[in-house]
Amino acid sequence: MIMGRGNPKNSALSWPRVLKILLIVTGLLLITLGYAYIVEPAWIEVTHLQVTAPMGPRIKIAHLSDLHTRRLGRVERHLLDLLAREQPDLIVITGDSIADNGSGHETEPLHKKLYAPLGVYFVNGNWEHWRPAGSSMSAAPVKILNNASAKIRDHLYLVGIDDAVTGHPDLDRALRDVPSESFRIGLFHSPEYFNEVHTEVQLALAGHTHGGQIRLPWIGPLWLPPGSGGFVRGWYRRGNSQLYVSRGIGTSVLPLRFLCRPELVIIELSK
Who wins on pLDDT, 54 or 111? 111
DSSP symbol at 218 = T
Residue 259 class from Cβ within 10 Å (0-12 exposed, 13-18 middle, 19+ buried)?
middle
Cα 271 from Cα 269, distance rounded (Å): 7
Mean pLDDT over 63-76 rounds to 95
Beta strands in 53-110 (DSSP E): 59-64, 90-94
Q: 260 with 41: CB under 8 angstroms?
A: no
Q: Is the pLDDT of residue 261 over 80?
A: yes
Q: 158 with 143: CB under 8 angstroms?
A: no
- The amino acid present at 145, given as its one-letter code, is L
Backbone phi and psi for residue 81, each to the nearest 5 degrees, phi listed first? -65, -40
Cα 265 from Cα 67, distance rounded (Å): 13
Q: Which domains, and CATH codes, for the chain?
A: 37-270 (3.60.21.10)
Binned at pLDDT 50, 70 and 90, residue 1 comes out as: very low
pLDDT value for 10: 52
pLDDT value for 24: 76
Which residue blocks in 106-170 are alpha helix, DSSP H?
A: 108-111, 126-130
Q: 20 with 49: CB under 8 angstroms?
A: no
pLDDT tens, position by position, 157-169: 999 999 999 999 9
pLDDT value for 9: 52
Instruction: Say what the pTM is.
Output: 0.90
